[in-house]
Structure 1
């Protein structure tokens, strides 16, 4: 069964629980907890913010103002036989909150 991607209309805030080594374990989205399958491939990458367009300014030493962190993981609702969904997550520069880009 093929499912069409569900792109949230606005990036939805999600809570992500990580393992000690920094890999996502679970995602809380829409009052439900999705368990990340550790046996399936995950992708982790960074892109750069277009700082010249948003003209973000900060004091010297503030931190990285351009790196946007991304994760793409396979997750499912309990029980373990539930259908897997692909979550694409992002975190903006200097943010602590994760955002849901898409579910498919």
Structure 2
């Protein structure tokens, strides 16, 4: 399932649990808890287009007023399929938004 393909203007609110350094550990979405897979490299950037990732944006932490993005791989359990989540948060908000979910990494 890819939200951006089905409805490019749709974003969904969700809850994200972070470690002390601010890295996502788990995502509560659609009544389920997805655990971020530590074996999958997560990408983090500030500002820019989430489809292009860090190639077109400032390094993480370089622009404290910019929108924060994370692209993480997560699973429902150790044997479930991997999903890639693109998460977004305005720095003035505690609310996370889901930009995209796709199969695999």
TM over 0.5: yes
Which among 76, 79, 82 is matched to residue 80 of structure 2? 82
The number of equivalent residue pairs is: 84
Q: Which residue of structure 2 lines up, in the alignment, with residue 60 of structure 1?
A: none
Q: Trace 1:27-46 onto structure 2 (pairs within 5 A).
A: 27-46=27-46
Query: CA RMSD, aligned part only?
Result: 1.7
Instruction: Report the structure number with the largest CA radius of gyration.
Output: 1
Q: Which residue of structure 2 lines up, in the alignment, with residue 6 of structure 1?
A: 3
Q: Which residue of structure 2 lines up, in the alignment, with residue 17 of structure 1?
A: 17
Q: TM-score, normalised by structure 1?
A: 0.73
